[in-house]
């Protein structure tokens, strides 16, 4: 089967969306197409054409993402889908390889995505770089430790989410650069995703609600959430808080923001999804088993240009090693590179250049992507037989250097 892969034009946008909706079994109403259009860059939205019919799609969002020691332009891959009538014909592979070539030509050294199915993207060089937790907390068992931080200067303010956007942005921006994986939120992202409140997004719950924790100098924390009201047969409250977004700039503000959503009247449980694996709430609860936590994948990362990507981040410890990279999809990455970094948690970057010296470590490019944001130890991949060490201690040294605190997390699906 012959298909043409190319960027779409404006008149082809409705057909592009129809494929995306079919591939993801979407129930979003058609009138939201125009809103979706604001989030997409047409010149970065590829389609596979079988004649005049669009049968596969993918797009890239131009993001600025925090990485260890700084930030980088990152291609946020989204809307990857193929019509059910055209699967198992190599269309997805054609789309993904063309997209990676385009990223390479644009000089974007890193790509990232959220995977609809975890088994798909490893074969294109993406590694599971960040994880996420979800919590189902019974509010009656959510007491904090007695030494939880408290600041008497803080107060809680209820606000209309859209009207409070400036305060939300201030808090988010103060936090964004502190955690690898967090990315800039554009105007369209705030309006059409973070603050979206159409009925289709409520899924049986109430409108989007907002609390802000602040002092006389301004906001220090916020939470966006919905409440799903409910009552038992005995007329007892059975409501549920559905937490969408929560950020705070310091421990006391963080504790009070969580306390506010956990103490919501007439609600017996809180469901929070998409939280970082090192979320401080894990340590604040007096009964941490009451978190009822579950573990999922968050970001998947792909190094499009290994040398630029590895030179574009900082390292937690000194390192001077030769790594041999295996990459069947992007042949320009295959080969040996000498990685040199002084180490430390500042902004000092590294050097990474091709070399003919013998390799200390050999690894596939997806393993590098998984370790890139600092949350996935390479030593564990070595124990699984996925990474080969040629020089004693080299794998541990590389794994230690690439580790980072806090753990990576993006916090919002793109």
CATH at 88: 3.40.630.30
Residues 18 and 139 both lie in one domain: no
pLDDT (mean) for 102-127: 97
Residues 344 and 293 both lie in one domain: no
pLDDT score of 1 more than 70: no
At 10 the pLDDT is: 96
The whole domain housing 205 covers: 132-297
At 192 the pLDDT is: 94
At 4 the pLDDT is: 97
Six-digit token string for 351: 């050097």
Of 58, 74, 108, the residue at which a domain comes to its end is 108
Q: How confident is the model at residue 200 (pLDDT cuts 50, 70, 90)?
A: confident
pLDDT (mean) for 180-192: 97
How many angstroms separate the CA atoms of 31 and 40, rounded?
Answer: 16
How many angstroms separate the CA atoms of 340 and 349, rounded?
Answer: 9
Q: Any idea which residue has 């591939």 for tokens?
A: 23
pLDDT score of 31 more than 80: no
Stretch (H or E) spanning 262? helix 251-262
Give the pLDDT confidence of 138-171 residue by residue, as tens digits. 999 999 999 999 999 999 999 999 999 999 999 9
Residues 103 and 176 both lie in one domain: no
Q: Alpha-carbon torsion 79, 83, 88, 90, what sign? A: negative
Residues 212 and 340 both lie in one domain: no
Residues 185 and 277 both lie in one domain: yes
Q: What percent of the chain clears pLDDT 90, i.e. is strictly above it?
A: 94
CA 361: distance to chain centroid? 28
pLDDT (mean) for 99-115: 98
Indicate whether 398 belongs to any domain: yes
How many angstroms separate the CA atoms of 317 and 200, rounded?
Answer: 48
- Mean pLDDT, the chain, as a whole number? 96
How many angstroms separate the CA atoms of 400 and 46, rounded?
Answer: 38
pLDDT score of 267 more than 90: yes
Six-digit token string for 239: 């409501």
pLDDT score of 348 more than 80: no
How do strand 209-215 and strand 4-7 relate by DSSP bridges? unpaired
Beta bridge partners of 47: 6, 57
**Is there a contact between 379 and 354 (Cβ–Cβ < 8 Å)?**
no
Tell me the residue length of the chain: 414
CA 99: distance to chain centroid? 19
Beta bridge partners of 294: 134
Half-sphere exposure at residue 178, Cβ-oriented, CA atoms within 13 angstroms: 11
Count the domains in the chain.
3
pLDDT score of 349 more than 80: no
Of 268, 297, 326, the residue at which a domain comes to its end is 297
Q: Any idea which residue has 């490019």 for tokens?
A: 365
How many angstroms separate the CA atoms of 29 and 35, rounded?
Answer: 11
Q: Any idea which residue has 């430390």 for tokens?
A: 344
């Amino acid at each position: 089967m012959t298909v043409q892969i190319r960027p779409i034009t404006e008149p082809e946008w409705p057909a592009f969306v129809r494929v995306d909706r079919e591939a993801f079994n979407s129930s979003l109403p058609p009138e939201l197409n125009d809103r979706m259009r604001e989030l997409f860059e047409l010149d970065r939205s590829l389609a596979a054409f079988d004649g005049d019919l669009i049968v596969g799609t993918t797009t890239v969002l131009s993001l600025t993402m925090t990485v260890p020691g700084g930030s980088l332009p990152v291609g946020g891959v989204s809307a990857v889908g193929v019509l059910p009538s055209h699967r198992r014909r190599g269309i997805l592979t054609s789309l993904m390889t063309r997209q990676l070539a385009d990223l390479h030509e644009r000089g974007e050294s890193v790509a990232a995505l959220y995977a609809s199915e975890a088994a798909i993207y490893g074969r294109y060089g993406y590694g599971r770089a960040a994880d996420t937790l979800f919590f189902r907390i019974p509010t009656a068992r959510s007491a904090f430790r007695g030494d939880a931080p408290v600041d008497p200067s803080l107060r809680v303010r209820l606000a209309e989410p859209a009207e409070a956007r400036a305060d939300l942005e201030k808090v988010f921006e103060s936090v964004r650069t502190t955690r690898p994986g967090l990315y800039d939120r554009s105007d369209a992202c705030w309006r059409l995703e973070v603050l979206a409140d159409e009925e289709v997004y409520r899924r049986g719950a109430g409108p989007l609600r907002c609390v802000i924790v602040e002092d006389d100098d301004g906001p220090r924390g916020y939470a966006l959430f919905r409440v799903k009201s409910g009552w038992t047969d005995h007329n007892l409250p059975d409501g549920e808080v559905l937490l969408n977004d929560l950020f705070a700039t310091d421990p006391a503000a963080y504790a009070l923001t969580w306390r506010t959503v956990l103490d919501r009247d007439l609600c017996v449980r809180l469901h929070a999804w998409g939280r970082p694996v090192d979320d401080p709430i894990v340590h604040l609860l007096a009964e941490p088993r009451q978190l009822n936590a579950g573990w999922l994948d968050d970001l998947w990362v792909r190094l499009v240009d290994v040398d630029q990507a590895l030179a574009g981040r900082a390292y937690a410890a000194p390192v001077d090693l030769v790594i041999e990279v295996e990459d069947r999809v992007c042949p320009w990455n295959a080969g040996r590179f000498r990685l040199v970094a002084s180490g430390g948690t500042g902004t000092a970057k590294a050097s990474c250049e091709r070399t003919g010296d013998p390799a200390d470590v050999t690894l596939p490019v997806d393993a590098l992507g998984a370790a890139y944001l600092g949350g996935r130890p390479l030593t564990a991949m070595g124990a699984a037989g996925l990474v080969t060490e040629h020089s004693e201690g080299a794998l541990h040294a590389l794994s230690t250097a690439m580790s980072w605190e806090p753990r990576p997390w993006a916090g919002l699906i793109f």
